[in-house]
Amino acid sequence: MNKPLILVVEDDGTVRNLITTTLKSNEYRYLTAPDGESAIAAASNQQPDIVLLDLGLPDIDGVEVIRRIRCWSQMPIIVISARSEDTDKIAALDAGADDYLTKPFSVAELLARLRVTQRRLTALESKTGESVFHNGSLTIDYGAGCAYMDGAALKLTPTEYKLLCLLAKDVGKVLTHTYLTDKIWGSCWESDMASLRVHMATLRKKLERNPDTQYIQTHIGIGYRMLKL
């Protein structure tokens, strides 16, 4: 099997070296781009498996890079940004980024994010066209409109079921509050955000009766992700 090819887009040489050294010692292949335009060109010419994208680039904004790549490709994009750039992170996720890393990050975090993204890719490839979703003890039968935990039907409200399906459809990906409220209520008012928190809390209570198994991860101020078990 080919080693995954990672496109590293980062203008800061120190961070770039940290990333490429990590990739090299962990059996990844990589190529680098120091700015947005060359990143878009490399993404198109080299077809990397995953893009690691710094948001603050010298020429065009990282979010713009995502938008332009998303016009023609669904290749996974992991955004790298400073903690102060939370709103940029949300914009990046809404533009189609798959995940994010906050600077400063550790080598272990970087590798964990890459593994999550690879698992998500595998899950996407295997589930294409399937009408039943499996993740750990959770099963969703889309045809029947029912969800099961360890074979027992979960009593979900229509909103909880919709939320569960949205999270499952993009298992492994962080979905922003805006994305979720827009999909469920067609809007994203403050009151929708509050409702989302309530529905998510009741959904999690039903899903995570066994406290050792976590299905949904909360990203404070950003959104939620279903973990691939």
Q: Which positions touch Ca ion (CB under 5 A)?
A: 11, 54, 56
In this structure, the number of other CB atoms found within 10 A of the CB of residue 47 comes to: 11
Nearest to Ca ion by Cβ — which residue? Answer: 56
What distance in Å separates the CA atoms of residue 54 and residue 36, rounded to the nearest whole number? 9
Q: Which is nearer to Ca ion, 62 or 76 (CB)?
A: 62
Q: Which is nearer to Ca ion, 54 or 88 (CB)?
A: 54
DSSP character string of 48-75: -SEEEEES--SSS-HHHHHHHHHTT---
Q: Which is nearer to Ca ion, 58 or 211 (CB)?
A: 58
27: which DSSP letter?
T
Nearest to 199 by CA among 226, 182, 180: 180
Find the shortest distance in angstroms from Cβ 12 to Ca ion.
5
Beta strands in 38-161 (DSSP E): 50-54, 77-82, 99-103, 132-135, 138-141, 146-149, 152-153
Q: Which is nearer to Ca ion, 8 or 184 (CB)?
A: 8
In b/e form, how buried is each residue of 179-217, taking b as 16+ CB within 10 angstroms?
A: bbbeebeeebeeebeeebeebbeebbeebeeeeeeebbe
CA of residue 205 relative to chain centroid, distance: 23
Find the shortest distance in angstroms from Cβ 88 to Ca ion.
11
Find the shortest distance in angstroms from Cβ 64 to Ca ion.
14
Phi-psi region of 94 (alpha: psi -120 to 50; beta: other; left: phi over 0): alpha
Find the shortest distance in angstroms from Cβ 54 to Ca ion.
4
Find the shortest distance in angstroms from Cβ 17 to Ca ion.
14
What distance in Å separates the CA atoms of residue 182 and residue 229, rounded to the nearest whole number? 27
Find the shortest distance in angstroms from Cβ 61 to Ca ion.
11
